[in-house]
Amino acid sequence: MTVDILRLATLLDDAARNATAVAQISATETLTLEEAYEVQRQSIERRLARGERRIGMKMGFTSRAKMEQMGVNDLIWGRLTHAMIAEDGGTISRKRFVHPRVEPEVAFLLRKPLSGIVTAVQAMDAVEAVAPALEIIDSRYQNFRFSLTDVVADNSSSSALTIGPWNSPHQPLDNLGMTVMVNGRAQSFGSTAAILGDPVRSLVAAARLVAMSGEVLEAGHIVMAGGATAAFELHVGMHVQLEVERLGRTSFMVAE
C-alpha cells in the first residue's frame, strides 16, 4: 500500500501549527525510515512556503541509552527554522505546544558549508562559534508516545530553542559541566560528555546524515548537538536556566 506522504506531512504540520495532538502514524500505517524523513522534509517545506527560513538542524538519540531504548544504532535529525528561535532570557508561551519538554544542549554555528564524511578536525574547521543552548521538544503525538518512524516524521520533536552567548570553538568541549536550574533550584546536572562522549562527534554525524539526504549545512547554519540529560516537562511559571562551564548561560520563562 502506497504511503500518502503529503497527507502525513500536512497532518503533522497542522498539528505543530495548531498545537494539537494526533494519533501515532505507526498505529495505522507502516513507513520506512526513508519515507519518514520525506514526510519530515515535506512538512518543513510547508513552513518555508509560509515564510519561515531554514537555519540548520538538530540531532537526536545522541546517547547510547536512548538508541538502545528505541532499538536503533544511529542518530536521527530534524530541520530547524528561524521561527523556532526564542529570545534568550525571554518568555515562551505554553500554548504554542502540545506537551513540551526541555533538554540542555550545545549549539554550533557554522562559518562555512559542511556535508559528507568528515573528521572531527574537519568538522570543527567549519565552526565559527559554540554556545550553550536549550531545546524544547514537543512530540505532536498523543501521550508523547511514538515509534522511530513516527518521531522522525514529526521533525524529531524539534519545536523551539534558546541560544546563549557565542564562544570561541577553539577549546575542549568533551567534558564541560552543565547545570539546569528551575526557578532558582537545581533541576539536573550533566556533562557535555553525555553527547556521544564529545559534542564534536554529533557535528561529524550531522555532516554525514545531512549528506545522505542530498543536503548541505550552509554557512550561518546552527547545529544542535543533542540532549545531555533527560528532558523534563515544562509548566507555566517555570524559569529555566542552563549554565555550561566556560560557555555561559541561556534561559527562558514559561508563560500561559
> 116: pLDDT confidence band, cut at 50, 70 and 90?
very high
Q: How far is CA 226 from the centre of its chain?
A: 6
pLDDT digits (tens, 9 = 90+) for 5-29: 999 999 999 999 999 999 999 999 9
* Angle in degrees, 0-180, between the axes of helices 5-18 and 33-49, rounded to the nearest 10: 60
Q: What is the mean pLDDT of residues 125-152?
A: 95
The pLDDT of residue 45: 98
> 70: pLDDT confidence band, cut at 50, 70 and 90?
low
d(CA 108, CA 124): 9
CA angle (110, 113, 117) in 5-degree steps = 105
Please name the residue ranges forming H helices in 100-146: 120-125
pLDDT digits (tens, 9 = 90+) for 166-212: 999 999 999 999 999 999 999 999 999 999 999 999 999 999 999 99
Question: Which is it for strands 54-60 and 177-182: parallel, antiparallel or unpaired?
Answer: unpaired
Q: What is the mean pLDDT of residues 33-54?
A: 97
CB 134 within 8 A of CB 102: yes
User: For the whole model, what pTM was predicted?
Assistant: 0.95
Q: What is the mean pLDDT of residues 70-95?
A: 91
